[in-house]
Amino acid sequence: MCGIFFSLSASGTVLPNEETCCLLRARGPDNYHVHNVERKVTNTRSSNEPIAVRLTFVSTVLSMRGDCLVPQPLVDATTQSVLCFNGDAWKIAGEPIQGNDAELIFKLLLQAVNSDSNINSLADSRTSAVQGVLDVISSISGPFAFVFYDAVNSRLFFTRDSLGRRSLLQGVDEAGTFKICSLCDGTSSTHFSEVETDGVYMVDFEHAIFQDDSTSMANAGTPLFAASCIQTLLWDQKQSDRLLRPKNPIPPMNRSTPEAAPPSLNVETIAVKALEQKLRQSLALRIRNVREPPATSLESNVKVAVLFSGGLDCTLLARLSHEILPEDEVIDLLNVAFENPRVAAAAAGKGGAAGSVYENCPDRITGRAAFAELQKVCPGRNWRFVAIDIPYAETVAHRDTVKRLMRPHNTEMDLSIACALYFASRGQGLAYDSRQEGAQPAQYTTSARVLLSGLGADELFAGYSRHGVAFSRNGFEGLIDEINLDVSRLGKRNLGRDNRVIAHWGREARFPFLDEEFVSWVVQLPVWEKCGFGTPSPAEDSPEAGLDSEKKALRLVALRLGMKNVAREKKRAIQFGSRTAKMEKSKVKGTDALT
Supply the DSSP string of 221-287, one letter for each residue. T--SB-GGGEEEEE-BTT----SS-PBPSSPPP-----SSPPPPP-TT-HHHHHHHHHHHHHHHHHH
Model confidence band, residue 262 (pLDDT cutoffs 50, 70, 90): very high
Model confidence band, residue 211 (pLDDT cutoffs 50, 70, 90): low
Sign of CA dihedral 405, 409, 415, 418: negative
pLDDT at 393 over 70: yes
Mean pLDDT for 112-127 is 69
CA pair distance 413, 594, nearest whole angstrom = 10
Mean pLDDT for 64-75 is 89
pLDDT at 294 over 60: yes
Mean pLDDT for 377-404 is 96
Closest by CA position to 460, among listed 336, 321, 246, 316: 316
* Chain centre distance of CA 288: 19
Model confidence band, residue 216 (pLDDT cutoffs 50, 70, 90): very low
CA pair distance 20, 27, nearest whole angstrom = 11
pLDDT at 351 over 60: no
pLDDT at 245 over 90: no
Tens of pLDDT along 465-486? 999 999 999 999 999 999 999 9
Contacts of 359 (CB under 8 A, 6+ apart): 337, 365
Give the residue numbers annotated as catalytic, written as ranges: 2
pLDDT at 121 over 80: no
pLDDT at 346 over 90: no
Mean pLDDT for 366-379 is 97
pLDDT at 591 over 90: no
CATH topology of domain 270-287+300-578: Rossmann fold (3.40.50)
Q: Is pTM beyond 0.75 here?
A: yes
Pairwise pLDDT comparison (44 vs 261), residue with the higher score? 261
Chain-wide mean pLDDT for the chain? 89
Give the CB-side neighbour count of residue 169, counting CA atoms within 13 A: 28
Residue 328, CA distances (Å) to 302, 324, 325, 331, 456 in order = 11, 12, 8, 10, 29
* Residue type present at position 588: V
Q: Per mean pLDDT, which range of 92-101, 141-150, 239-248, 394-403 is the poorest?
A: 239-248
Pairwise pLDDT comparison (165 vs 261), residue with the higher score? 165
Q: Per mean pLDDT, which range of 366-375, 457-466, 519-528, 582-591 is the poorest?
A: 582-591
- At residue 503, the pLDDT reads 96
- At residue 326, the pLDDT reads 95
CATH 3.60.20.10 in the chain: give the residue spans: 2-234
Do residues 90 and 96 make contact, with C-beta atoms less than 8 angstroms apart? yes
Model confidence band, residue 587 (pLDDT cutoffs 50, 70, 90): confident
Model confidence band, residue 213 (pLDDT cutoffs 50, 70, 90): very low
CATH topology of domain 2-234: Glutamine Phosphoribosylpyrophosphate, subunit 1, domain 1 (3.60.20)
Q: Per mean pLDDT, which range of 297-301, 452-456, 467-471 is the poorest?
A: 297-301
Pairwise pLDDT comparison (398 vs 64), residue with the higher score? 398
pLDDT at 417 over 90: yes
Find residue 180's DSSP bridge partners. Answer: 6, 170
Query: Residue 408: is the preceding peptide bond cis (ω within 30°)?
Result: yes
- At residue 222, the pLDDT reads 60
Find residue 572's DSSP bridge partners. Answer: none
pLDDT at 207 over 60: yes
- At residue 217, the pLDDT reads 39
Tens of pLDDT along 7-59? 999 888 999 999 999 999 999 999 999 999 998 877 655 556 778 889 999 99
pLDDT at 215 over 50: no
Residue 553, CA distances (Å) to 109, 210, 275, 318 in order = 40, 55, 8, 17
Model confidence band, residue 344 (pLDDT cutoffs 50, 70, 90): confident
Tens of pLDDT along 555-578? 999 999 999 999 999 888 888 888
Contacts of 194 (CB under 8 A, 6+ apart): 164, 167, 168, 169, 408, 491, 492, 496
- At residue 548, the pLDDT reads 94
Do residues 312 and 551 make contact, with C-beta atoms less than 8 angstroms apart? yes
CA pair distance 91, 319, nearest whole angstrom = 25
Do residues 453 and 510 make contact, with C-beta atoms less than 8 angstroms apart? yes
Do residues 448 and 302 make contact, with C-beta atoms less than 8 angstroms apart? yes
Mean pLDDT for 396-401 is 96
Tens of pLDDT along 502-553? 999 999 999 999 999 999 999 999 999 999 999 988 888 888 888 999 999 9
- The neighbour count for residue 343, using CB atoms within 10 Å, is 18
CATH 3.40.50.620 in the chain: give the residue spans: 270-287+300-578
- At residue 494, the pLDDT reads 86
